[in-house]
Amino acid sequence: MAAGALSRAGRVSEGSTVSDHEEIEHQQQRSVRLALVPVEWRGVKINLLDPPGHADFAGELRAALHAADAAVFVVSATDLPGDTGSPEQTSPTLALWRECAAAGLPRAIAVTHMDAARADFDEVLTACRQAFGEGHPDSVQPVDLPVRTDGQVRGTVELLSGETHGAAAPLPPTEPAREQLVEAIAGEDDELMERYLGGETLDGAALARGLHGALGQDTLHPVLPVTEDGTGAVDLLDLIVTAFPPPTERPLPEPLAARPQGTGPDSPLVAQVIQNTGDQYVGRLSLVRVLAGTLLPDLGVQVAGAEARVAGLTSPFGKLQRAVPHAPAGDLACVGKLTAQVGDTLCDPAAPLTLPRWELPEPLLPVAVRARSRSDEDKLAQSLARLTAEDPTVRAEQNPDTHQLVLWCTGEAHAGVVLHRLAEQYGVQLDQVDYQVALRQTFAGPATGHGRLVKQSGGHGQYAICDLQVEPLPAGGGFEFVDRVVGGAVPRHYVPSVEKGVRAQLANGVGNGYPLVDLRVTLLDGKAHSVDSSDAAFQTAAALALKDAAGQASLRLLEPVAEVGVLVPDEYLGAVFNDLSGRRGRVLGTEAAGPGRSLLRAEVPELELSRYAVELRALTHGTGSFTRAPLRYEPMPPALAAKVPAPEPG
């Protein structure tokens, strides 16, 4: 749709792709990064932001919402939203609509594929009112109607002005639709409503002002038909220029709104980093939204408390970068070689100001990976640092318990893109391995152990003997060490060595190698040698004593349990409840979380959550989301514990 609109605007040739700037986008036939396409139309610059539609890339959408002043939803006439369409396709669209509503963005709807044989504009309009009306179907109103000739859409007619575009056929009846539109516009403006009820015919200028005001108040959502050959694109661009609120009319972030210097072109600079990308020729490029002042090349700025300089200023167009002389308030531009994170504020050093960051989706799908070769391992740390700077929705973690490198992603599609970028963009080949949950062990009951290290091989030998008692503590009790040696059987300066040896063995585990927790270890007795005893000898003897105690006791495997909050539409609540119960979850309760949505709280073993980000999305057709937080460790059922393999060595 963007390419068609640009073609009609004379900006690109028909069929050009302006957003697929990564190889993986061509392979997957979908966008994975936010793309910016600047367009000049009727003397006005329009920055078209094209975010990915897939739920895995919601971080790109959040960035677009933060940078945009309005949104155009693209609805296909062959795949209707709402109850008449497939949940897999429509539910994510509804979720995005509500997210835009929460952000206060004015919204319009472009109905594409109107040239399809079975396309029915009235049917699409009814479906849009049901899906997007949110209890106010009259808020969704057509501003253009399609004009058909021999069953094909050949043009459009504007309801307010009566003007036609590319239409040489008899026009459809427009009066009923126009009357509904005028009533909807007048209903949002007291003056217009008074004139309308008084029988006055509202002129085009008054209606245009009313449409502009209703869009700015987010109380009216225009609908326009568009075809694959670009019919209707001119109407859409006209609507954006004449009816959408300009940047100067959009609410400002609180710190900036309270600043006395204002936001004009001569005021102190305030801008925010929307996106970081890597370019093989110029390095990092930061897409920034200017909110106040004017961004200029070679300008000194402050970024995250550090001084920096704008190396160059460009405007993107697909893979191309075009130099621009400046970027005023409301504009977007790219800054090269800027050391900044997504959400960082650029400001005038003489008038420092920090804008709040927007909330990013939490990556909840763990992907365990291993470097394929030593060369890949050498490049891995630097590559991950660059990758996470470009994509803040991926989190790299070296798990201290399992020794695995885990890339936390938002979903399978996101994970595929992350691994592809590491391989193709940074030359790092990774192999995916099974993700391991960090398990623990504890003693089921008290036990005693004897550790004896006596070696003599010429010169100083090694001599240390320890007797330990091990007792389980309540869950979360941690570790306690008690010294009950009497008579100096273990010299005082070796007691810390015993504790050190015990702690080391607890971390390494016994038997299957999982760390031991929630134990009290008491040093009861021991022996030392005046010459052959040492710190190392008593550490080893303590470890042997702990192993001996473990051999005489029953060990219990512990698994981590997470506190989970699942936000779902009410129609999926029962399915989610049953699914969590099947995951050994304990549902604590539910509460209302807005119209038609509920928040379900539960405690679920981490072993059951490794792929929950993917499975919940499938279960709820993309509308469910969840949060997780570590809660505690609990004993694993014996039948499951018997099937758990030993952890891989670090």
Residue 115 binned pLDDT confidence (cut-offs 50, 70, 90): confident
**Spatial distance between the Cα atoms of 25 and 68, rounded to a whole number of angstroms:** 23
CA-nearest of 260, 346, 283 to 310 is 346
Fold of the domain built from segment(s) 70-245: Rossmann fold (3.40.50)
Longest dimension (CA), the chain: 115
Quote the pTM value.
0.86
Q: How many Cα atoms within 13 Å fall on the side-chain side of residue 391?
A: 26
**Spatial distance between the Cα atoms of 74 and 98, rounded to a whole number of angstroms:** 15
Query: What letter represents residue 44's amino acid?
Result: V
Cβ 184 vs Cβ 133: under 8 Å: no
pLDDT at 83: 45
Domain 254-347: homologous superfamily in CATH: Translation factors (2.40.30.10)
SS3 of residue 38 by DSSP: strand
pLDDT at 7: 44
Residue 189 binned pLDDT confidence (cut-offs 50, 70, 90): confident
**Spatial distance between the Cα atoms of 309 and 316, rounded to a whole number of angstroms:** 20
Q: What is the pLDDT of residues 52-90, one digit of tens each?
A: 888 889 899 999 999 999 999 999 888 776 544 444 445
Q: What is the pLDDT of residues 501-558, one digit of tens each?
A: 999 999 999 877 899 999 999 999 999 998 899 999 999 999 999 999 999 999 999 9
Q: What is the pLDDT of residues 603-649, one digit of tens each?
A: 999 999 999 999 999 999 888 999 999 999 999 999 998 888 766 66
Segment holding 64, helix H or strand E? helix 58-67
Q: What is the pLDDT of residues 412-434, one digit of tens each?
A: 999 999 999 999 989 999 999 99
Q: What is the pLDDT of residues 436-451, one digit of tens each?
A: 999 999 999 999 999 9
CATH architecture of 440-553: 2-Layer Sandwich (3.30)
Beta strands at 221-225 and 107-112: parallel, antiparallel or unpaired:
parallel
Domain spans, the chain = 70-245, 254-347, 365-433, 440-553, 558-641
CA-nearest of 245, 235, 174 to 209 is 245
Residue that the structure tokens 């699409």 belong to: 124
CA-nearest of 129, 306, 314, 286 to 222 is 129
Mean of all residue pLDDT scores within the chain? 88
Cβ 297 vs Cβ 365: under 8 Å: no
**Spatial distance between the Cα atoms of 578 and 370, rounded to a whole number of angstroms:** 35
Q: How buried is residue 591: exposed, middle or buried, by Cβ count under 10 Å (0-12/13-18/19+)?
A: exposed
Tell me the two tokens of residue 89: 């396709």
pLDDT at 148: 83
pLDDT at 289: 96
DSSP one-letter code for 129: H
SS3 per residue for 241-254: HHCCCCHHHCCCCH
**Spatial distance between the Cα atoms of 59 and 362, rounded to a whole number of angstroms:** 9
Distance between terminal CA atoms of the chain? 51
Residues 6+ apart with CB under 8 A from 345: 270, 271, 272, 273, 303, 304, 353, 354, 355
pLDDT more than 90, % of the chain: 64
**Spatial distance between the Cα atoms of 621 and 91, rounded to a whole number of angstroms:** 6
Cβ 262 vs Cβ 292: under 8 Å: yes
How far, in Å, are 174, 245, 409 from residue 204 at the CA level?
16, 18, 51
Same fold, 365-433 and 558-641: yes
Query: In terms of pLDDT, which residue wins out, 451 or 258?
Result: 451
Residue 21 binned pLDDT confidence (cut-offs 50, 70, 90): low
Residue 460 binned pLDDT confidence (cut-offs 50, 70, 90): confident
SS3 of residue 625 by DSSP: strand
- Most confident range, picked from 158-172, 247-261, 318-332, 362-376: 362-376
- Other C-beta atoms closer than 10 Å to the C-beta of 187 total 17
Tell me the two tokens of residue 43: 């003397």
Cβ 174 vs Cβ 159: under 8 Å: yes
Tell me the two tokens of residue 544: 């042997």
The pLDDT of 81-100, averaged and rounded, is 64
How far, in Å, are 37, 80, 91, 273, 305 from residue 311 at the CA level?
22, 47, 43, 15, 18
Cβ 126 vs Cβ 83: under 8 Å: no
pLDDT at 5: 44
The CATH number assigned to the domain with range 558-641 reads 3.30.70.240
**Spatial distance between the Cα atoms of 231 and 229, rounded to a whole number of angstroms:** 6
The pLDDT of 223-234, averaged and rounded, is 87
**Spatial distance between the Cα atoms of 216 and 521, rounded to a whole number of angstroms:** 68
**Spatial distance between the Cα atoms of 287 and 87, rounded to a whole number of angstroms:** 34
Residue 168 binned pLDDT confidence (cut-offs 50, 70, 90): low
SS3 of residue 433 by DSSP: strand
Cβ 466 vs Cβ 403: under 8 Å: no
CA-nearest of 308, 252, 321, 337 to 66 is 252
Cβ 216 vs Cβ 249: under 8 Å: yes
SS3 of residue 555 by DSSP: strand
pLDDT at 631: 95
How far, in Å, are 70, 585, 613 from residue 564 at the CA level?
34, 9, 12
Where b means 16+ CB within 10 Å and e means fewer, 511-527 reads eeebbbbbbbbbbbbbe
CATH architecture of 365-433: 2-Layer Sandwich (3.30)
Q: What is the pLDDT of residues 366-413, one digit of tens each?
A: 999 999 999 999 999 999 999 999 999 999 999 988 899 999 999 999
Segment holding 274, helix H or strand E? strand 270-279
Instruction: Using the predicted structure, report yes or no on whether residue 458 has a pLDDT greater than 70.
Output: no
DSSP one-letter code for 494: G
pLDDT at 2: 45
pLDDT at 47: 93
Q: What is the pLDDT of residues 261-283, one digit of tens each?
A: 889 899 999 999 999 988 666 67
The pLDDT of 552-575, averaged and rounded, is 94
pLDDT at 201: 87
Outline where DSSP puts E strands in 344-483: 345-347, 365-371, 395-398, 405-409, 430-433, 440-443, 447-455, 462-472, 479-483
Where b means 16+ CB within 10 Å and e means fewer, 115-137 reads beeebebeebbbbbbebbeeeee
Residue 575 binned pLDDT confidence (cut-offs 50, 70, 90): very high
Tell me the two tokens of residue 264: 């004009």
- Other C-beta atoms closer than 10 Å to the C-beta of 411 total 21
pLDDT at 85: 45
- Other C-beta atoms closer than 10 Å to the C-beta of 174 total 16
